[in-house]
Structure 1
Amino acid sequence: MLKYIALKGLLAVLVAFTVSLAAFLLLNVASDPAQAIAGEDATPGVVETIRARYGLDRPVYERYVSWLAGVVQGDFGESYYWHKPVAELVAERADETLTLAFSALLVTIVIAVPLGALAGLNPNSWIDRAALGVAVSAQAVPNFWLGLIMIILFAVMIPIFPVSGDNSWYHFVLPAIVLGASSVPAVMRLTRTGLIEVMGADYIRTAKSKGFRGNHLLRRHALRNAILPVISVLAVQLGQKFGGSVITESIFAINGLGRLALESILGADIPTVQMLIFVFAIVFVAMNLLADILNAALDPRIRIG
């Protein structure tokens, strides 16, 4: 098990390094950071002054090594737009994004797993078709449209929840539903497919012949094996929600990392955008690593293979 974790951990570090290099090159080579900071109408003299001021006149490899060394030491650089350390900006807004991501994942689990279980236990029935209909509908609706509809219905017409903000858990109800709905189809289908396969297995028929029925059969024998692929998807979805909340946070005016990323892009704040891409990638890689470890712990065949 330790060897398996070490191998997966090494792969995760390599992926994180590759993402950091790709993000740095895209932001510093594909475009001119000095020109982006100065603006389209800036004179060449102003652009050169900015390039010298922020050290953008140094070779790209030298800037990358310097940036990577700073990241290892916890120095994420200074924001061009807010004129404060990027680490401070990320720390100020991380709590809101974490709260939103975990709340959205909870919404996904509460909706998708029961629907998938009902559909898997009743294949080709009206329950199965209704569950698949919910999944298809959730997949077809874009987040920005669903967010606006939720605001109109439950914040304007029926003022149950606040329109925007992040002052309390109450403000996260609508954003969590909007962000969590996008993951319902994948989790629901995997739960359904896993249960259909497991319920036809030999050991399930043996358990039924011994008198196991209902919830006991589902919890003790069927769900543990059926849930293995769902765990991986949930971990991946958590990473996606952490880095993919830009639209939801903007609609509901939540001051999280997603909104910070949008503001940084609009303000040509290269160090902040660069660091946020790296942070989102690290979270995504970490969630994938966690999923692999959990799967290996639940199914020894994975780590043996």
Structure 2
Amino acid sequence: MASFALKRILVAVLVAFTVSVVSFTVLRLSADLAQALAGEGASSEQVEQIRISYGLDRPLALQYLDWLGNIIRGDLGESYYFKQPVSALILERVPVTFTVATLAIGLALLLAIPLGICAALNRNSWLDRLCLTTAVVGQAVPSFWLALMLIYIFGLHWQWLPLSGSEEWQGFILPIIVLAYYAMPAIMRLTRAGMIEVLHADYIRTARAKGLSLRAIVTTHALRNALMPVVALAAVQFGFLLGGSTVVETVFALHGVGYLSWESIQRADFPVVQSIVLMFSMIFVVLTLASDLLNAAIDPRVRLQ
């Protein structure tokens, strides 16, 4: 287990380094940051002065090394627009994004796994078709459209919930539903496929021949193996909910990290955008590593592979 974990950690570090290089280079080359900061009416002398003052005239490799050195020391820089430390800005917004994403993935798992099990146990029945239809619709419906529909129905028409804002806990209900519905289809379909495959295994037929009840077979024997791929998928989906919350937070005016990234992109606030991209990338790497280690702990065959 130790050698397996060491290999996975080494791969995670290499992936994190590659992501940092690619994201830094792409964001730097996507636009002239000095021109964006100076504004459209700025003269060439003003643009050049800004370029020199922010170190944008230096070679890209040196800019990256300086930025990486500051990151290692815990210094994310200062926001061009807010004139505050980037770390303070992000830490102020993280609780909103983390709360919504955590509750959303929890709700998605709570609904998707039982539905996937029921669909597998009743394969080709009306319940199975209903679950698959729900999954297809969930993958096809854009999150912003669903968010707007929920705002219209529950906020404007029935006036049960607030339209936007994170000042009250009721303002989190609709965003959580939207993100949970976005994550449900993949989890439900993978649970269904895993259960169907496991239920046809030899050891399940042996358990049935011994006279075990269906509940015991599902909970004790089948579910553990069927949910192994779901663990990895749930980790990735949680990362998607954290990193992909920009649209939902913007629609519902939730002042989380996603909304901060949208504000920073609009204002060409490079240090904030770069730090948010790096943070979400590291979250993906850590979640993937955690799912690999958890699967290895659940099933020793993963370590042998």
Length-normalised TM-score, structure 2: 0.98
Aligned equivalent of 2:191: 191
1:111 deviates by 2.1
Pairwise CA distance, 1:214: 2.7
Residue 179 in 1 paired to residue 179 in 2?
A: yes
Output the CA distance in 1 between the equivalents of 2:240 and 2:226: 23
* Deviation readout 1:216-247 (Å, 9 max, x if unpaired): 22110110000011111000000111111000
Structure 2: how far apart are the matches of 1:286 and 1:151? 34
The answer (yes or no) to whether the contact 1:27–1:33 under 8 Å persists in 2 is no
Aligned-CA RMSD value? 1.0
Q: Which runs of 5+ in 1 are unaligned?
A: none
Instruction: Kindly provide the amino acid, as one letter, of the partner of residue 112 in structure 1.
Output: A
Shift of 1:179: 1.1
Distance 1:161 1:30, change over 3 A: closer
Q: How does 1:259-278 map to 2 (within 5 A)?
A: 259-278=259-278
Structure 1 partner of 2:214: 214
1:302 is matched with which residue?
A: 302
For the 8 Å contact 1:19–1:281, the answer to whether it is kept is: yes
C-alpha separation in 2, matches of 1:230 and 1:3: 24
The 5 A counterparts of 1:140-179 are 140-179=140-179
Asked if structure 2 preserves the Cα contact closer than 8 Å seen for 1:136 and 1:185, the reply is yes
What residue in structure 1 maps to residue 254 of structure 2? 254
User: Deviation of residue 2 (structure 1)?
Assistant: 1.2
CA distance in 2, matches of 1:267, 1:155: 30
One-letter amino acid of the counterpart of residue 31, structure 2: S
Q: Which residue of 2 aligns with 1:237?
A: 237
Whole-angstrom CA distance in 2 between matches of 1:151 and 1:101:
19
Say whether the 8 Å CA contact 1:116–1:131 is kept in structure 2.
yes
Question: Which whole-Å deviations, capped at 9, do the CAs of 1:120-165 have from their partners, x for residues lacking one?
Answer: 1111111111110111111111000000000111112112221111
How does 1:125-144 map onto structure 2 within 5 Å?
125-144=125-144
Q: Which residue of 2 aligns with 1:279?
A: 279
1:55 deviates by: 1.5
Q: Which portions of structure 1, spanning 4 or more consecutive aligned residues, are displaced by more than 6 angstroms?
A: none
163-172 vs 274-283, which moves further: 163-172
CA offset at residue 167 of structure 1?
A: 2.4
Post-superposition CA distance 1:6-35 (Å, at most 9, x none): 111111111111111111111223422111
* Number of positions where the alignment pairs a residue of Structure 1 with one of Structure 2: 305
Give the match's secondary structure for 1:183: helix
- 1:216 maps to a residue whose letter is A
What are the superposed Cα offsets for residues 32-81 of structure 1, whole Å, 9 maximum, x if unpaired?
Answer: 21112122332211101111121112221111111101101100001001
Give CA deviations for 1:103-122 in whole Å, capped at 9, x if unaligned. 11012112211111111111
Q: Is the 8 A contact 1:120 1:193 kept in 2?
A: yes
The separation in 1 between residues aligned to 2:222 and 2:10, in whole angstroms, is 33
Q: Structure 1 residues 30 and 267 mapped into 2: Cα distance closer, same or farther (>3 Å)?
A: closer
Cα drift, residue 92 of structure 1:
0.4
* 1:105-116 paired onto structure 2 within 5 Å: 105-116=105-116
Q: TM-score, normalised by structure 1?
A: 0.98
Map of 2:22 onto structure 1: 22
Q: Distance in 2 between matches of 1:265 and 1:76?
A: 17
Residues in 2 aligned to 1:173 and 1:2: alpha-carbon distance in whole angstroms: 42
